[in-house]
Amino acid sequence: MRFKTFACFVGPSLLLMVLFIAVPLVSVFIQSFHVTQPVIERIETERCTAGFLEQQCSTEIKNVPVLDERGSIVTTTRFVGLENYRAVVRPDSVQAAISSWNWPALMAIDFWKALRFTLSFTLITLPLVIGLGLTIALAVNNTTRSIRGPVIFVSLLPYIITPVIGALSIRWLFVGDGILTQAMEAWSGRQISMFAQGWTIELLMLFYRVWHVAPFAFVIFYAGLQTMNRDAIEAAMMDGASRFERLRYVIIPHLMPLIFFVSLIHLMDAYRVFEEVVGFRSQAHVISLQWLTYDLLQPDDAGNRAVSRASASAMLTMIGIVILLVPLLRKSWRDHKGVR
């Protein structure tokens, strides 16, 4: 393929990636080392109230933001180094909590509370998604052709549902007088509140993520099973290999590149968990790193947004994703070099 033809195909994608990924990422990185604050001036004001014979006046000093000619607040930006990261991570409080073995004190810090949930959510759902997706793929691959189409359609339904809508649906089944909550109360004879504790909310969020993402893994693995060499399977059967041995020594090695692919996609997506926190309204008990960044961008009572701290939180989230992906990327690179 000539370079001009290649550039015509790849150029638009590269341009959009630079505009909507690279430029915002660099902007967030720079913002994480700076603080933008409004310029404040002290003014003296006189307040008078009606009196019996004469007005009663008092003088007070107020701090008000400086406005420009268009009426906008004048701001100033200054370099603060790692101060934004310290404000998010709070190393002094972390050191005090660790030295006194005070786990509740550590979890009282929003960043570490979000990091704990994000890591556990990502690492627990990963093997469950891969295992369930592979199980469904093997089951569908072994069914008769007459019912294979409907089974595939039903298996894909959870993945088609919009993430927030799916999370809200699961929440409505369990919250308050939800259908499943009423069923469990009738079966156990006890009053049940699934959203009164953090660990029950986490269980529901884990269940929802596996239920929602497993169909994606199923589709990938099912497509890989269609490329299996039937001679290898038949040779293993003739050698007396059991069903588990054929899965371990023939099928899984053949699907290993796809397993790495699903793992990469899931790690990047699960580490940015956000829809579950919003859909389950779990902010009082469970938060994620992505939700923490969103929360920092919300205006406070004075209308100010912690953009600098939100930028630092976003960069820490990005660093976490890179750390998780490095082992898989190194393994994929080594396998690629070995094939070549």
Taking only the tens place, the pLDDT of each residue in 270-302 is 998 888 888 888 888 889 999 999 988 888 766
Backbone φ and ψ for 43, nearest 5 degrees, come out as: -125, 150
Question: For 146-178, how does the pLDDT look when each residue is reduced to its tens digit (9 = 90+)?
Answer: 787 888 888 888 888 888 888 888 888 888 777
Q: Tell me, what's the pLDDT at 121?
A: 93
Q: State the pLDDT at residue 164.
A: 82
List, in order of start, the domains of the chain with CATH numbers.
Answer: 112-339 (1.10.3720.10)
Residue 157: partners with Cβ closer than 8 Å, 6 or more residues away: 215
Q: Taking Cα atoms as reference points, which of 120, 128, 118 lies closest to residue 274?
A: 118
pLDDT score recorded for residue 11:
84
H/E segment holding residue 57? strand 56-65
So what's the pLDDT on residue 198? 82
Widest CA span of the chain, in angstroms?
113
Instruction: Provide the 10 A C-beta neighbour count for residue 257.
Output: 14
Q: What is the pLDDT of residue 217?
A: 92
Asked if residues 334 and 317 have their Cβ atoms less than 8 Å apart, the reply is no
**What amino acid occupies position 154?**
V
Instruction: Say how far apart CA 317 and CA 321 lie, in whole Å.
Output: 6
CB-based contacts of 272: which residues, under 8 Å, 6+ apart? Answer: 288, 289, 290, 317, 321
In whole angstroms, what is the distance from residue 120 CA to residue 20 CA?
30
Output the pLDDT for position 149: 80
Q: Which two tokens stand for residue 2?
A: 């000539």
Task: Show the low-confidence residues of the chain (pLDDT under 70).
Answer: 1, 50-53, 55, 64, 71, 74, 301-303, 336, 338-340
**Residue 1's pLDDT is what?**
63
pLDDT of residue 127: 94
